[in-house]
Structure 1
Amino acid sequence: MARETAQTDEAMIQRLRDVGLRVTGPRLEVLKVLSSGEHLDVEAITGAARARLGTLTSQAVYDMVRHFLDTGLVTKFDRPGWPAVFEIAGKPHQHALCVNCGRVANISVPRQELPDKRLRGWNLDSVEITFKGECPDCR
């Protein structure tokens, strides 16, 4: 287990370096929190990272997340009525959003065709579909 953690840490350190960000303890810890696979808002990220580091401000996490977004390390999912959530960038996927509690889950669906022909003059580069409903806990 310690070996797996060391390999994961090395991979995260390399990801930070690959995008030109300096490796710091707080940045590494925030990436570790995000690597859980959950969709987390800034307050949840701050709380989890603070539990391990001792001190960390929400503003520092906002700044880190902004840098991670700018460099493509993380992606953002906006949830109407709730704070945006973040996850480690990876393969393209869609999301399911619980309309009661705001929980977000990843869904892999076949690649969607872009409707370029129906949107004359537009230059589209991606498709984002959100499935909305009730999660198992809210049903």
Structure 2
Amino acid sequence: MDELTGREAVIQRLRDVGLRVTGPRLEVLTVLASAGHLDVEAITATARERLGTLTSQAVYEMLRHFQETGLVSKFDRPGLPAVFEISGPPHQHALCVRCGRVENVAADAPEPPRRGLSGWSMSEAEIVFKGLCPDCAREAASD
């Protein structure tokens, strides 16, 4: 999918997937397009600053629709709330095990193994690089 930037691009992407353009949908996608890797509470708080009112439940519903239409991807972080990003080219993720920060990584995932998974029908593979982000690494070094 093309990079989602600018208000007009966001409006067009909503129309392309058959979703009605509403203020809240437009704002949630704009927030994600400008920041990426945000949890529902961060998305809600940022969008609420601009809209005045918006509930977390409404954001959850929008994100579900955005995932179903391929506009948004979800990344689960063990022990932390999931984060969402605008869908784009296939990529992997780096996860800070201290603060939960997530960054995209340009790395190819391996092909799923053919042996040892009899009867399985694999659809994709994912690699998550785990470690400390630059901020946490600096903080750990000064401890």
When normalised by structure 1's length, the TM-score is: 0.90
| Residue of structure 2 in register with 1:107 after alignment | 105
1-structure distance, mates of 2:122, 2:81: 27
| Residue of structure 1 in register with 2:132 after alignment | 134
| Residue of structure 1 in register with 2:13 after alignment | 15
Q: Is the 8 A contact 2:40 2:60 kept in 1?
A: yes
**Pairs within 5 Å for 1:13-52:** 13-52=11-50
- Deviant stretches of 4+, over 6 Å: none
- Classify the secondary structure of the residue corresponding to 2:108: coil
Q: Which consecutive unaligned segments of at least 5 residues does structure 1 have?
A: 1-6
Q: Is the 8 A contact 1:116 1:123 kept in 2?
A: no
Q: Is the 8 A contact 1:95 1:106 kept in 2?
A: yes
Number of equivalenced pairs: 133
Q: Which consecutive unaligned segments of at least 5 residues does structure 2 have?
A: 138-143
2-structure distance, mates of 1:37, 1:127: 25
| Residue of structure 2 in register with 1:73 after alignment | 71
2-structure distance, mates of 1:121, 1:72: 28
| Residue of structure 2 in register with 1:61 after alignment | 59
How far does the alpha carbon of each residue in 1:88-112 deviate from its partner, in whole angstroms, 9 at most, with x for none?
Answer: 0000100011111100010011342
When normalised by structure 2's length, the TM-score is: 0.88
C-alpha deviation, 1:138, in angstroms:
0.7
How far does the alpha carbon of each residue in 1:9-61 deviate from its partner, in whole angstroms, 9 at most, with x for none?
Answer: 22111111111111001100000000024200000000111111111111111
Q: Is the 8 A contact 2:91 2:106 kept in 1?
A: yes
**Aligned pair partner of 1:89 in 83, 87, 95:** 87
C-alpha deviation, 1:117, in angstroms:
3.8
1-structure distance, mates of 2:12, 2:113: 38
